[in-house]
Amino acid sequence: MQFLHTIVRLADLPKYCGLRRTQIEKLIAEARFPRPVKLSARRIGWIEAELIEWQQQRIANRDQP
């Protein structure tokens, strides 16, 4: 069974990660942040589940000794 993914647009992205656009672009270039999905010729978005997974990985890294 397939389900729809929630797409997070760039304007809403800071609520999920607390980072600004330039920081996000740098992390994407370093393959340390989820890559965006092209929605149209001029729009991109991020899959919410991938952002949540990224958050969980950051928390897990913090909690390791």
Burial of 8 (0-12, 13-18, 19+ CB in 10 A): buried
- Model pTM score: 0.85
> pLDDT tens digit string along 1-59?
678 999 999 899 988 888 998 999 999 999 999 999 999 999 999 999 999 999 999 99
Q: What is the pLDDT at residue 7?
A: 95
Give the H or E element holding residue 61.
Answer: helix 48-63
HSE, CB side, 13 Å, CA atoms: give it for residue 47.
11
